[in-house]
């Protein structure tokens, strides 16, 4: 870790085989984690330049969990392309352990309660053979107080949980779920959780799909994913499509 970040690091904590580096403030936890070896994680109280998928800003105010975890990803890159999909499932599993139910996924890995977003994931590769899973979970923070466009579109763990939940507890459960996911992918056992993932999309919804290869979006119905993580979609003309995650720029629920 660079001297600049060493100065700012508040603590380094061992947690179930992980080393968690804690900061008061960082621009974004993902690039800091990207320089670390596997089984290290970076957590910051706030992020001043929090990043979402597709270049969006991710508001990271105090009271939420902003965490990036470095997972070993040895072997062919294709084998690990399923990780972003599994990461959403892992976060739902972690939150289930603190009694939060009724969460759903929106492809590829947004975590929602009804139509309100609870958590998001940004999975990136900075070094060969490791992958960084960056997860942002709204807990007691209020992103809508910093961006009024988010009013009514976000929800926090504090609102959903029946008891008060500590950041440390969610950190531990999330990292544990990521470790389990890593083992499932490494051992080619991802198919064991595909049915569970497919129940997490909720009822079949009309969506608009933007593909990287065509200017016009497709309207249709999202049908879930196959054991290789490919998205299954039926367009409004009744044609079925099976798409690699890399082919899809955006899925928007209508």
- Member of 18, 21, 22, 28 binding ligand BTN (CB under 6 A): 28
Question: How near is the Cβ of 171 to ligand BTN at its closest, in Å?
Answer: 12
Question: How near is the Cβ of 164 to ligand BTN at its closest, in Å?
Answer: 22
Question: How near is the Cβ of 132 to ligand BTN at its closest, in Å?
Answer: 8
Our CB check for ligand BTN shows the closer of 66 and 222 to be: 66
Note whether 182 binds ligand BTN by CB under 6 A: no
* Contact indicator for 100, 159 with CB cutoff of 8 Å: no
Note whether 79 binds ligand BTN by CB under 6 A: no
* Contact indicator for 20, 41 with CB cutoff of 8 Å: yes
Number of neighbours of residue 95 by Cβ within 10 angstroms:
25
Measured between alpha carbons, how far is 183 from 71 in angstroms, rounded to an integer? Answer: 10
CB contact set of 131 (below 8 Å; sequence gap of 6+): 70, 71, 73, 80, 83, 123, 124, 125
- For residue 67, the cross-strand partners are 43, 135
Q: How many residues bind ligand BTN (CB under 6 A)?
A: 21
* Contact indicator for 48, 36 with CB cutoff of 8 Å: no
Question: How near is the Cβ of 28 to ligand BTN at its closest, in Å?
Answer: 3
* Contact indicator for 22, 12 with CB cutoff of 8 Å: yes
- Member of 23, 110, 197, 230 binding ligand BTN (CB under 6 A): 110
Note whether 63 binds ligand BTN by CB under 6 A: no
* Contact indicator for 143, 61 with CB cutoff of 8 Å: yes
Nearest of 82, 101, 115, 62 to residue 199 by alpha carbon: 101
Structure tokens at 209: 């799909």
Question: How near is the Cβ of 60 to ligand BTN at its closest, in Å?
Answer: 6
Contact positions with ligand BTN (CB under 6 A) in 113-152: 120-122, 134-136
Our CB check for ligand BTN shows the closer of 9 and 228 to be: 9
- Member of 23, 66, 89, 233 binding ligand BTN (CB under 6 A): 66
Measured between alpha carbons, how far is 234 from 181 in angstroms, rounded to an integer? Answer: 29
- Member of 5, 52, 116, 186 binding ligand BTN (CB under 6 A): 52
Note whether 53 binds ligand BTN by CB under 6 A: yes
Q: Interacting stretch for ligand BTN, rule CB under 6 A, among 26-34, 159-167, 213-221, 233-241?
A: 26-34
Chain residues that interact with ligand BTN, rule: CB under 6 A: 28-30, 47, 50-53, 56, 58, 60, 66-68, 110, 120-122, 134-136
């Amino acid at each position: 870790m660079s001297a600049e970040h060493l100065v700012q690091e508040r603590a380094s904590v061992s947690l179930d085989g992980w080393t968690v580096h804690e900061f008061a403030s960082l621009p974004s936890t993902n690039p800091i984690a990207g320089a670390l070896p596997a089984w290290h994680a970076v957590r910051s109280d706030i992020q001043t330049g929090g990043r979402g998928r597709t270049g969006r800003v991710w508001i990271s105010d105090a009271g939420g969990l902003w965490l990036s975890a470095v997972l070993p990803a040895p072997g062919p890159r294709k084998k690990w392309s399923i990780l972003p999909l599994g990461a959403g499932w892992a976060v739902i599993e972690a939150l289930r352990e603190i009694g939060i139910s009724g969460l759903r996924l929106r492809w590829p890995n947004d975590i929602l309660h009804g139509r309100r977003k609870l958590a998001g994931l940004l999975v990136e590769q900075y070094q060969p053979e490791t992958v960084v899973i960056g997860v942002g979970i709204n807990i007691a923070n209020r992103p809508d107080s910093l961006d009024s466009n988010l009013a009514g579109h976000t929800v926090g763990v504090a609102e959903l949980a029946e008891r008060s939940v500590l950041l440390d507890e969610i950190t531990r459960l999330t990292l544990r779920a990521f470790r389990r996911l890593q083992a499932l992918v490494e051992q080619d056992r991802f198919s064991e959780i595909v049915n569970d993932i497919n129940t997490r999309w909720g009822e079949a919804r009309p969506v608009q799909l933007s593909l990287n290869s065509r200017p016009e979006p497709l309207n249709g119905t999202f049908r879930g994913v196959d054991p290789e993580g490919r998205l299954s979609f039926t367009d409004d003309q009744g044609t079925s499509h099976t798409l690699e995650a890399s082919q899809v720029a955006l899925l928007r629920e209508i």
